[in-house]
Structure 1
Amino acid sequence: MSRCEELFAEARRYIPGGVNSPVRAFRSVGCAPVFATRGEGAYIWDADGRKYADYIGSWGPLILGHAYAPVTEAVCAAARGGASFGLPTEREVEMARLIAELVEGVELVRMVSSGTEAVLSALRVARGFTGRELIVKFEGCYHGHSDGMLVKAGSGLATAGRPDSAGVTAKTAAETISCRYNDVGEMKEIFAAHKGEIAAVIVEPVGANMGVVPPAPGFLESLRELTTAQGALLIFDEVITGFRLSLNCASGYFGVTPDLWTFGKIIGGGLPVGAYGGRRDVMSVVAPLGPVYQAGTLSGNPVAMAAGLAALKTLRGAPHIYKELAAKGERLRRGLAEIFKKCDIPACVQGIESLATIFFTEGPVRSYDDAKKSDTARYARYWKSMEKRGVLLAPSQFEALFISAAHSGEDIEYFLSCAEEAARGGEL
């Protein structure tokens, strides 16, 4: 038994399923989890001493790679000064100012400790500001595990959701309506059926939790027009896309300005963090300015703020990083598409900038319905073929592949050579 297998057996004695987040169980690929021991640049090492080129990247935060020196140095310096105070610090002011400077339309920012917390807070703000109850979300978009976001679509186009998790009440789920991603027609029908009742529409501007599904031309613009016309708020969940697509986030990248944003991942430099922000008039309903209550002992934690500031300042000071990430992403996606086509393997390679997903289905994938047609058994075989060659991917068909600034051109070419070897060898 390997050390990773031993650790997993021990973990199952004390942790539900042996993991602290379900995808880490590696059930979709049928093996024990990889237990990480350290990371450096584009690589990680597991408990058995194996080295991997890492394309999970802590699910998005590590855009600069593992143990990036300016981030680790900032963390150490901050920790030496005190890990937590429960009082305001200068760093949280600097972080809020930096986000507002970089993202047009953000005027006030509130720090929290996770993406889930950011989303549930933003939804509460939307309801408090509009005086309405209904929220519209999109199938395949993940917004954390707050009760109202764990819903499935109803049986009809404009039907309220039903619980997608035990412990979520039907009453709570009924306050959320689920719509097909990229389907403007269905969204119009929902607004027509619930005129004057919708508080907000929340969307991942690039779907990244059903695999990577970019917005269709005009989709985000239509959401902006519909919400504005009916007095509803538009919320961009940029926990993944925030500072990933560009220094101005997805809203700047696509030129569509929502009313509220949620952030996480990159703004913490790898430490637990979240934030929500937006227009001054909307955010002014948040206590102590207004009646919408939200609080957190570790919100604006000084160590997390130090890590995030180091990461964001690096990105702001080196705009060439985004051009290089885009080039690596394009090379990887194009190369994979060519390999699968030559080997006659049904696959659709999608992505944007430094994000990618290989869907083992005929494409394009424009919605969660399309993504669910993927051959998950083939993905598991693909994952295992790459893992044994030292390339670590997300252990699920429906997750993103993350490229970091630490990945070299040689890393990308090695990835492609491994994929071609597996495809030509009949391993997929």
Structure 2
Amino acid sequence: MPGGVNSPVRAFKNVGGNPLFIDHAKGQHIYDIDGNEYIDYVLSWGPLVLGHAEDHVVAALQTAVERGTSYGAPTQLETQLAEMVQNLVPSMEMMRMVSSGTEATMSAIRLARGFTHRDKIVKFIGNYHGHSDSLLVDAGSGMATFGINTSPGVPDPFALDTLTVEYNDTAAIRDLFEKQGDEIACVIVEPVAGNMGVIPGTQSFLETLREITKASGSLLIFDEVMSGFRAGLHGVQGLTGITPDLTTLGKVVGGGLPVGVFGGRKDIMSDITPAGNVYHAGTLSGNPLAMTAGISTLSQLNADLYIQMGKKVDRLTAGIQESADRHGVPLVTHHVGTMWSYFFNEGPINNFVDVKKSDEQFFAKFFKEILANGIYTAPSQFETNFLSAKHTDEDIDRTVAIFDDAFTKLA
């Protein structure tokens, strides 16, 4: 395997040393092949809002696997999960299940181009929307970790049709639309950026995107693959009251199995084959195991659970910030819902330019120090951490104490 891994950030290249090889996990804990136990704040990069190997999800999957793992034909499970998603994200009037977030965003972009009969798309610097060609320009996440602007292998015409603007820069996006608005098929945005650490899109920024796309005949795509059911029960669109034309989801919807979803206005989604002519297909799309895990997960989510988790994230980030301040360590913590991150940075942090000012060398030392003491956070300054329903107050206290010890040792 290139770099010894099947996804790049797992290699720990940005922080040095060898990555964890995992043996098993349960609840809020993960266990490596050497028998070490960690409080896990990565949670498979977001999907496990109920924690690892949640009892109801496991039981549902055990039953489902005995009935067959894949049919390549419709099941009632697909409709059941789609109805649950629509109930929580009403803007998704019609949707299509896929097998990954990359598939979801790639398909949404193709649909937007087909629906508008335009080629150009707009994305924001530091936003990551998967690894399809059109979206690997000024991307965050692993691209930022490895210092890659546009990946080799992406033809120039793909990059030329992708216009990039700084995140949260309302003036710049207005200027771009004044010049090229009638050529732009869509704007795709992480309404809470999670692939350069947690950076919320401001209300005015997101409202501007809604206003100018509607005025120009372009589509607005909210990429909520990460923020969906993480920023809140109804995603960022539930927090802001802003309704996009299309939404992409993933992560939590699969309950730990590979899933993505793209959907939105019925008139737009009706352009997808076989109802329309914009092609999309997938042998494992909507497979019964992933649908089962998603149904079991979403059925356990409710507003009270998010209030409880939100209070714990508040206490966690406040404790880390207070400790850093006391030790004189430049640190900024951000959190939205169950998403949180910490930057070794004076702040404020509103976009990728701000994020790049963070002290990555200190981050690498700090990461290894807390990892050695049983705290597993994302191994990159450009990634997001998460909280699950299984994390306890004791976990929060222990985490803050270990962060404090690391500040004492490294400050």
TM over 0.5: yes
Secondary structure of 2:187 counterpart: strand
1:273 maps onto 2:259 in alignment = yes
Secondary structure, in 3 states, of the residue corresponding to 2:280? coil
1:163 Cα offset (Å): 6.6
The answer as to whether partners of 1:196 and 1:231 remain within 8 angstroms in 2 is: yes
* Letter of the structure 2 residue corresponding to residue 328 of structure 1: K
Question: Given the alignment of the two structures, is residue 147 of structure 1 paired with residue 133 of structure 2, yes or no?
Answer: yes
How much does 1:223 deviate?
Answer: 0.6
Q: Distance in 2 between matches of 1:390 and 1:101?
A: 38
Scaled by the length of structure 2, what TM-score is found?
0.96
Distance 2:192 2:233 in 1: 16
Structure 1 runs not aligned, ≥5 long: 1-14, 154-161
Q: Structure 1 CA distance, aligned partners of 2:400 and 2:3?
A: 33
Give the counterpart of 2:289 among 289, 292, 303: 303
Task: Say which structure, 1 or 2, has more relative contact order (CA 8 Å, 6+ apart).
Answer: 2
| Alpha-carbon shift at residue 195 of structure 1 (Å) | 2.7
> Deviations for 1:110-138, whole angstroms, at most 9, x for unmatched residues?
00000000000000110111111110000
What amino acid sits opposite 1:410 in the alignment? E
User: What is the SS of the residue equivalent to 1:314?
Assistant: coil
Alignment of 1:369 onto 2:353: yes
Aligned: 1:18 with 2:19: no
| Corresponding pairs, count | 403
Aligned pairs for 1:405-420 within 5 A = 405-420=389-404
Report the counterpart of residue 102 of structure 1 in structure 2.
88
Deviations 1:45-86 (A, max 9, x none): 001000000010000000000000111111111111000000
Q: Residues 88, 119 of structure 1: CA spacing in aligned structure 2 closer, same or farther, 3 A cutoff? A: same
Q: Which amino acid aligns with 1:199?
A: A
Match of 1:84 in 2: 70
In the alignment, structure 2 segments of 5+ residues that lack a partner are 140-147
- Mapped partners of 2:50, 2:235: distance in 1: 16
Three-state SS of the structure 2 residue aligned to 1:88 is coil
**Equivalent residue number for residue 10 of structure 1:** none
Distance 1:234 1:381, change over 3 A: same
What is the identity percentage for the equivalent residue pairs of Structure 1 and Structure 2?
Answer: 48
Question: Which letter does structure 2 place at the counterpart of 1:415?
Answer: T
Alpha-carbon distance in structure 1 between the residues aligned to 2:166 and 2:149: 17
Q: Which of 359, 373, 378 matches 1:389?
A: 373
TM-score normalized by the length of structure 1: 0.93
What letter is aligned with 1:281?
D
Question: Which residue in 1 is equivalent to 2:216?
Answer: 230
> Residues of 2 paired with 1:247 and 1:402: CA distance?
15
Letter of the structure 1 residue corresponding to residue 382 of structure 2: F
Q: Secondary structure at the match of 1:122?
A: helix
Show the counterpart of 2:29.
43
1:172 is aligned to 2:158: yes
Q: Deviations over 1:379-407 (max 9, x none)?
A: 01110111111001111011011111110
- Give the conservation status (yes or no) of the 8 Å contact 1:206–1:214: yes
Paired residues for 1:184-333 under 5 Å:
184-315=170-301, 318-333=302-317
Stretch moving more, 304-313 or 351-360: 351-360
Correspondent of 2:385 among 388, 401, 406: 401
The Cα RMSD (Å) is 1.1
